[in-house]
Amino acid sequence: MPQNKGMKQTSVEHIGRSQLIPGVSRTIEGIVTRTAAILVAGAVLSCNVPEMERVPTEEEVRNWPVLEPFLASPAEITGVYRNLDVDAVVFYYRCNLPTEAAFWAQLEEQATAGGWTAGASSGQAYRTYQRLQARGSKGFASAEEARIAYTPARVVVGYVQSDQWRETPKPVAEASEGRFADEAVWPKFRAAVSGGAG
């Protein structure tokens, strides 16, 4: 088709150059942007993201300083549950002490030395310990709860920690981590006390 040199542009040619082409480029730009976003999201989702819940190893339990007061002459520690998002763990172990009284005496001594306070445990198959720490240099307060059950076959330990943006923390049971523990941690603790794996 011969070019129309010297002829005036038609309105269609004018629209095509001034408005349709920029519109097409914006559409292509949008498609490329959305495609890139989808590819990035796919790459992120396919990454090897660590699981938030898993079974702790004996070494992890033994080397977690906050758990030391609740390890009274332990042998053969078996992990049941650990949450990496909320500091929470359930495990059990065989105790090398000869009697239940000797076990509780050692545990009470260790817990008191670690700043833990025994809670009311009447009518429960376990004892509860709590430690509250006001906001300090870390910028947040901390509340911790541990539940300990003794049977001749095993000692079961459950632990939950709560970071709080308050001056003085409320107990774990009153915090969001307490609601989480009611659903995810304490049922595993009770199952382990009953002799199950949690």
Amino acid at 157: V
Residues 38-54 have a mean pLDDT of 56
Residues 73-101 have a mean pLDDT of 95
What is the structure's pLDDT at 46? 43
Q: Which two tokens stand for residue 105?
A: 């005496």
What is the structure's pLDDT at 39? 47
- Same domain for 92 and 39? no
The neighbouring-strand residues paired with 158 are 90, 147
What is the structure's pLDDT at 31? 60
Which of residues 15 and 162 earns the better pLDDT score?
Answer: 162
What is the structure's pLDDT at 123? 73
Q: Which two tokens stand for residue 193?
A: 């006390």
- pLDDT, tens digit (0-9, with 9 covering 90-100), for 185-196: 999 999 999 987
- Same domain for 102 and 82? yes
Whether 2 maps to a domain, the answer reads no
The contacts of residue 55 (CB under 8 Å, 6+ apart) are 79, 80, 81, 82
pLDDT band at 139 (very low <50, low <70, confident <90, very high): confident
- Same domain for 57 and 29? no
Tell me what the pLDDT averaged over the chain comes to: 83
Q: Cα separation of 115 and 123, whole Å?
A: 24
Amino acid at 10: T
Measuring CA to CA, which residue among 83, 97, 101, 191 is closest to residue 147? 191
| Host domain of residue 130 | 53-193
Residues 18-29 have a mean pLDDT of 54
- Same domain for 117 and 183? yes
pLDDT band at 154 (very low <50, low <70, confident <90, very high): very high
How many structural domains comprise the chain? 2
Q: Cα separation of 148 and 99, whole Å?
A: 16
What is the structure's pLDDT at 47? 46
What is the structure's pLDDT at 167? 87
Does the pLDDT at position 13 exceed 90?
no
- Same domain for 105 and 141? yes
Whether 188 maps to a domain, the answer reads yes
The contacts of residue 46 (CB under 8 Å, 6+ apart) are none
pLDDT band at 42 (very low <50, low <70, confident <90, very high): very low
Q: Cα separation of 134 and 68, whole Å?
A: 21
Rg (CA), the chain: 30
What is the structure's pLDDT at 2? 55
- pLDDT, tens digit (0-9, with 9 covering 90-100), for 96-130: 999 999 999 999 999 999 999 998 776 788 999 99
